[in-house]
Protein backbone atom coordinates (compact mmCIF):
# COMPACT_ATOMS: atom_id res chain seq x y z
CA UNK A 1 0.00 0.00 0.00
CA UNK A 2 1.47 3.32 -1.07
CA UNK A 3 1.37 6.16 1.45
CA UNK A 4 -0.61 9.22 0.34
CA UNK A 5 1.60 12.22 -0.36
CA UNK A 6 0.01 15.67 -0.19
CA UNK A 7 2.12 18.59 -1.34
CA UNK A 8 1.46 22.31 -1.53
CA UNK A 9 2.95 24.35 -4.37
CA UNK A 10 2.64 27.96 -3.25
CA UNK A 11 3.81 29.27 -6.65
CA UNK A 12 4.56 33.04 -6.70
CA UNK A 13 2.61 33.80 -3.54
CA UNK A 14 3.44 34.80 0.05
CA UNK A 15 5.91 37.26 1.46
CA UNK A 16 8.32 35.88 4.01
CA UNK A 17 6.08 36.84 6.94
CA UNK A 18 2.97 35.34 5.33
CA UNK A 19 4.86 32.16 4.48
CA UNK A 20 6.11 31.72 8.03
CA UNK A 21 2.62 32.23 9.41
CA UNK A 22 1.09 29.63 7.09
CA UNK A 23 3.92 27.16 7.73
CA UNK A 24 3.48 27.53 11.51
CA UNK A 25 -0.21 26.81 11.19
CA UNK A 26 0.45 23.73 9.07
CA UNK A 27 3.10 22.35 11.41
CA UNK A 28 0.58 22.52 14.25
CA UNK A 29 -2.36 21.18 12.23
CA UNK A 30 -0.56 18.29 10.55
CA UNK A 31 1.33 17.07 13.60
CA UNK A 32 0.73 13.34 13.92
CA UNK A 33 -0.93 13.18 10.48
CA UNK A 34 -0.70 9.78 8.81
CA UNK A 35 0.21 10.93 5.30
CA UNK A 36 3.39 12.37 3.81
CA UNK A 37 3.40 16.17 3.45
CA UNK A 38 5.46 18.81 1.65
CA UNK A 39 5.21 22.56 1.12
CA UNK A 40 7.05 24.49 -1.57
CA UNK A 41 7.22 28.21 -0.75
CA UNK A 42 8.80 30.71 -3.14
CA UNK A 43 12.62 30.84 -3.05
CA UNK A 44 12.57 34.07 -1.03
CA UNK A 45 10.77 32.37 1.87
CA UNK A 46 12.64 29.04 1.86
CA UNK A 47 15.15 29.99 4.52
CA UNK A 48 12.52 31.30 6.93
CA UNK A 49 10.10 28.41 6.33
CA UNK A 50 12.97 25.96 6.72
CA UNK A 51 13.37 27.06 10.36
CA UNK A 52 9.65 26.52 10.93
CA UNK A 53 9.31 23.03 9.45
CA UNK A 54 12.59 21.67 10.80
CA UNK A 55 11.89 18.62 12.99
CA UNK A 56 8.26 18.44 11.84
CA UNK A 57 6.59 15.93 9.50
CA UNK A 58 6.43 18.49 6.68
CA UNK A 59 9.09 18.34 4.00
CA UNK A 60 10.52 21.51 2.51
CA UNK A 61 10.26 21.78 -1.26
CA UNK A 62 11.48 24.17 -3.94
CA UNK A 63 9.46 24.98 -7.05
CA UNK A 64 12.33 24.84 -9.51
CA UNK A 65 16.10 24.44 -9.73
CA UNK A 66 18.79 25.39 -12.23
CA UNK A 67 20.03 22.96 -14.87
CA UNK A 68 23.57 23.89 -13.83
CA UNK A 69 25.59 23.60 -10.66
CA UNK A 70 27.08 27.10 -10.55
CA UNK A 71 28.37 29.96 -12.65
CA UNK A 72 27.01 32.58 -15.00
CA UNK A 73 23.26 31.84 -14.82
CA UNK A 74 21.66 35.13 -13.83
CA UNK A 75 18.46 34.68 -11.88
CA UNK A 76 18.86 30.93 -11.34
CA UNK A 77 19.08 28.97 -8.09
CA UNK A 78 21.38 25.96 -7.79
CA UNK A 79 21.03 22.57 -6.15
CA UNK A 80 23.67 23.41 -3.56
CA UNK A 81 21.93 26.67 -2.65
CA UNK A 82 18.70 24.77 -2.07
CA UNK A 83 20.41 22.04 -0.09
CA UNK A 84 22.05 24.72 2.05
CA UNK A 85 18.57 25.97 3.04
CA UNK A 86 17.35 22.54 4.05
CA UNK A 87 15.31 21.84 0.91
CA UNK A 88 14.53 18.13 0.53
CA UNK A 89 12.26 18.04 -2.52
CA UNK A 90 12.25 19.86 -5.85
CA UNK A 91 9.28 20.24 -8.18
CA UNK A 92 10.54 19.97 -11.75
CA UNK A 93 8.85 20.30 -15.13
CA UNK A 94 5.80 22.12 -13.78
CA UNK A 95 3.54 23.09 -16.66
CA UNK A 96 4.00 26.78 -15.84
CA UNK A 97 7.75 26.30 -16.31
CA UNK A 98 7.19 24.32 -19.51
CA UNK A 99 4.61 26.61 -21.09
CA UNK A 100 5.30 30.12 -19.78
CA UNK A 101 9.09 29.80 -19.54
CA UNK A 102 9.53 27.37 -22.44
CA UNK A 103 11.42 24.69 -20.54
CA UNK A 104 11.71 21.67 -22.79
CA UNK A 105 12.01 18.01 -21.91
CA UNK A 106 15.80 18.09 -22.27
CA UNK A 107 16.10 20.86 -19.67
CA UNK A 108 13.65 19.11 -17.35
CA UNK A 109 15.62 15.89 -17.68
CA UNK A 110 18.90 17.65 -16.94
CA UNK A 111 17.37 19.10 -13.78
CA UNK A 112 15.92 15.74 -12.74
CA UNK A 113 19.29 14.01 -13.05
CA UNK A 114 21.12 16.82 -11.27
CA UNK A 115 18.61 16.91 -8.41
CA UNK A 116 18.82 13.14 -7.94
CA UNK A 117 22.61 13.31 -7.99
CA UNK A 118 22.40 15.80 -5.12
CA UNK A 119 20.07 13.53 -3.16
CA UNK A 120 16.83 15.47 -3.55
CA UNK A 121 13.44 13.90 -3.91
CA UNK A 122 12.08 15.00 -7.31
CA UNK A 123 8.46 15.63 -8.20
CA UNK A 124 8.39 15.33 -11.99
CA UNK A 125 5.30 17.04 -13.38
CA UNK A 126 3.63 15.83 -16.56
CA UNK A 127 0.35 16.76 -18.17
CA UNK A 128 -1.42 17.66 -21.40
CA UNK A 129 -2.89 20.92 -22.68
CA UNK A 130 -6.62 21.13 -23.38
CA UNK A 131 -6.02 21.03 -27.15
CA UNK A 132 -3.90 17.91 -26.72
CA UNK A 133 -6.63 16.21 -24.67
CA UNK A 134 -9.27 17.17 -27.22
CA UNK A 135 -7.07 15.75 -29.98
CA UNK A 136 -6.87 12.44 -28.09
CA UNK A 137 -3.19 12.96 -27.29
CA UNK A 138 -3.29 13.07 -23.47
CA UNK A 139 -1.62 9.69 -23.04
CA UNK A 140 1.01 10.31 -25.70
CA UNK A 141 1.99 13.65 -24.14
CA UNK A 142 2.25 12.17 -20.65
CA UNK A 143 4.20 9.20 -21.97
CA UNK A 144 6.71 11.40 -23.78
CA UNK A 145 7.17 13.72 -20.80
CA UNK A 146 7.59 10.76 -18.44
CA UNK A 147 10.05 8.90 -20.66
CA UNK A 148 12.11 11.98 -21.49
CA UNK A 149 12.00 13.25 -17.92
CA UNK A 150 13.36 9.96 -16.61
CA UNK A 151 16.01 9.40 -19.30
CA UNK A 152 19.27 8.34 -17.69
CA UNK A 153 17.67 7.89 -14.25
CA UNK A 154 18.87 4.64 -12.69
CA UNK A 155 16.48 2.17 -11.10
CA UNK A 156 18.13 2.77 -7.72
CA UNK A 157 17.32 6.49 -7.98
CA UNK A 158 13.66 5.93 -8.74
CA UNK A 159 12.79 5.66 -5.04
CA UNK A 160 13.44 9.43 -4.89
CA UNK A 161 11.11 10.17 -7.80
CA UNK A 162 7.45 11.12 -7.54
CA UNK A 163 5.39 11.81 -10.65
CA UNK A 164 2.66 14.46 -10.59
CA UNK A 165 -0.01 14.27 -13.28
CA UNK A 166 -1.27 17.81 -13.75
CA UNK A 167 -3.59 18.25 -16.74
CA UNK A 168 -2.83 21.84 -17.75
CA UNK A 169 -6.51 22.62 -18.43
CA UNK A 170 -7.33 21.79 -14.80
CA UNK A 171 -4.70 24.01 -13.17
CA UNK A 172 -6.15 27.06 -11.48
CA UNK A 173 -9.31 26.81 -13.59
CA UNK A 174 -11.67 25.16 -11.13
CA UNK A 175 -12.05 22.32 -13.66
CA UNK A 176 -10.89 19.05 -12.18
CA UNK A 177 -10.35 15.87 -14.11
CA UNK A 178 -12.99 13.36 -13.08
CA UNK A 179 -11.58 10.72 -10.76
CA UNK A 180 -12.02 8.19 -13.59
CA UNK A 181 -10.23 10.31 -16.21
CA UNK A 182 -7.38 11.07 -13.82
CA UNK A 183 -7.14 7.41 -12.79
CA UNK A 184 -6.87 6.36 -16.44
CA UNK A 185 -3.78 8.55 -16.95
CA UNK A 186 -2.29 7.54 -13.61
CA UNK A 187 -2.67 3.87 -14.44
CA UNK A 188 -1.24 4.45 -17.90
CA UNK A 189 1.73 6.36 -16.46
CA UNK A 190 2.40 3.62 -13.93
CA UNK A 191 2.50 1.26 -16.91
CA UNK A 192 5.17 3.43 -18.52
CA UNK A 193 7.23 3.23 -15.32
CA UNK A 194 6.74 -0.55 -15.35
CA UNK A 195 8.00 -0.76 -18.91
CA UNK A 196 11.10 1.24 -17.93
CA UNK A 197 11.89 -0.13 -14.47
CA UNK A 198 9.74 -3.22 -13.90
CA UNK A 199 6.56 -3.95 -11.98
CA UNK A 200 7.96 -3.60 -8.48
CA UNK A 201 9.27 -0.09 -9.13
CA UNK A 202 5.99 0.85 -10.79
CA UNK A 203 3.98 -0.50 -7.86
CA UNK A 204 5.95 1.63 -5.39
CA UNK A 205 6.19 4.94 -7.25
CA UNK A 206 3.93 7.69 -5.94
CA UNK A 207 1.84 9.42 -8.62
CA UNK A 208 0.15 12.61 -7.44
CA UNK A 209 -2.74 14.38 -9.10
CA UNK A 210 -2.73 18.17 -9.48
CA UNK A 211 -5.26 20.58 -10.92
CA UNK A 212 -7.98 22.32 -8.89
CA UNK A 213 -7.77 19.71 -6.15
CA UNK A 214 -9.67 20.82 -3.07
CA UNK A 215 -11.33 19.39 0.01
CA UNK A 216 -14.56 18.75 -1.91
CA UNK A 217 -12.99 16.53 -4.60
CA UNK A 218 -9.88 15.17 -2.85
CA UNK A 219 -11.46 12.11 -1.28
CA UNK A 220 -12.92 10.86 -4.57
CA UNK A 221 -9.64 11.39 -6.40
CA UNK A 222 -7.55 9.79 -3.65
CA UNK A 223 -9.89 6.80 -3.54
CA UNK A 224 -8.67 5.78 -7.00
CA UNK A 225 -6.21 2.92 -7.05
CA UNK A 226 -3.40 4.75 -8.84
CA UNK A 227 -3.84 8.26 -7.38
CA UNK A 228 -1.44 8.43 -4.46
CA UNK A 229 -1.64 12.04 -3.43
CA UNK A 230 -2.00 15.57 -4.61
CA UNK A 231 0.05 18.54 -5.74
CA UNK A 232 -2.08 21.44 -4.66
CA UNK A 233 -1.84 25.05 -5.85
CA UNK A 234 -4.60 27.49 -4.92
CA UNK A 235 -6.03 25.45 -2.06
CA UNK A 236 -2.56 25.13 -0.50
CA UNK A 237 -2.40 28.86 0.22
CA UNK A 238 -4.53 28.70 3.36
CA UNK A 239 -4.43 26.21 6.21
CA UNK A 240 -8.24 26.15 6.16
CA UNK A 241 -8.31 24.77 2.63
CA UNK A 242 -5.10 22.70 2.68
CA UNK A 243 -5.46 20.81 5.94
CA UNK A 244 -8.78 19.15 4.97
CA UNK A 245 -7.10 17.80 1.80
CA UNK A 246 -4.27 16.46 3.93
CA UNK A 247 -6.72 14.45 5.97
CA UNK A 248 -9.06 13.50 3.10
P1 LIG B 1 -4.26 24.48 -8.62
O2 LIG B 1 -4.50 23.56 -7.46
O3 LIG B 1 -4.33 25.93 -8.26
O4 LIG B 1 -5.10 24.12 -9.80
O5 LIG B 1 -2.73 24.26 -9.08
C6 LIG B 1 -2.25 22.98 -9.26
C7 LIG B 1 -0.80 23.04 -9.50
O8 LIG B 1 -0.35 23.54 -10.52
C9 LIG B 1 0.08 22.53 -8.44
O10 LIG B 1 1.39 22.44 -8.88
Domain residue ranges in the chain: 5-246
pLDDT tens-place string over residues 144-181: 999 999 999 999 999 999 999 999 999 989 888 899 99
Confidence at residue 108, expressed as pLDDT on a 0 to 100 scale: 98
- Superfamily for the 5-246 domain: Aldolase class I (3.20.20.70)
Pocket test for ligand 1, best of 89, 123, 170, 171 (most atoms within 8 A of CB): 171
Confidence at residue 160, expressed as pLDDT on a 0 to 100 scale: 98
Confidence at residue 175, expressed as pLDDT on a 0 to 100 scale: 86
Q: Name 214's Cβ contacts closer than 8 Å, sequence gap at least 6.
A: 232, 234, 235, 241, 245
Residue having the nearest C-alpha atom to atom 2 of ligand 1: 233
Confidence at residue 73, expressed as pLDDT on a 0 to 100 scale: 98
d(CA 245, ligand 1 centre) in Å: 13
Q: Which residues of the chain have pLDDT under 70?
A: none
pLDDT tens-place string over residues 96-123: 999 999 999 999 999 999 999 999 999 9
Pocket test for ligand 1, best of 10, 11, 40 (most atoms within 8 A of CB): 11
pTM of this prediction exceeds 0.75: yes
Q: Is 174 exposed, middle or buried (0-12, 13-18, 19+ CB in 10 A)?
A: exposed
Which residues are part of the catalytic machinery?
94, 166
Confidence at residue 102, expressed as pLDDT on a 0 to 100 scale: 98
Confidence at residue 248, expressed as pLDDT on a 0 to 100 scale: 86
User: Cβ(146)–Cβ(192) under 8 Å?
Assistant: yes
Q: State the Rg of the chain over Cα.
A: 17
Ligand 1 binding pocket (C-beta < 6 A) is: 9, 94, 166, 171-172, 210-213, 231-235
Amino acid sequence: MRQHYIAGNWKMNKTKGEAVELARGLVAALKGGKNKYMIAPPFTALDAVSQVVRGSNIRLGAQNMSTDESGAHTGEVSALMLKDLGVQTVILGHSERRHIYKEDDAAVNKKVRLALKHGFEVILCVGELLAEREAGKAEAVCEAQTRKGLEGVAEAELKNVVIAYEPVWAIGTGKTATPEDAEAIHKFTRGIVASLYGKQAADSIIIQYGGSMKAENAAALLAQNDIDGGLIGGAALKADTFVPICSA
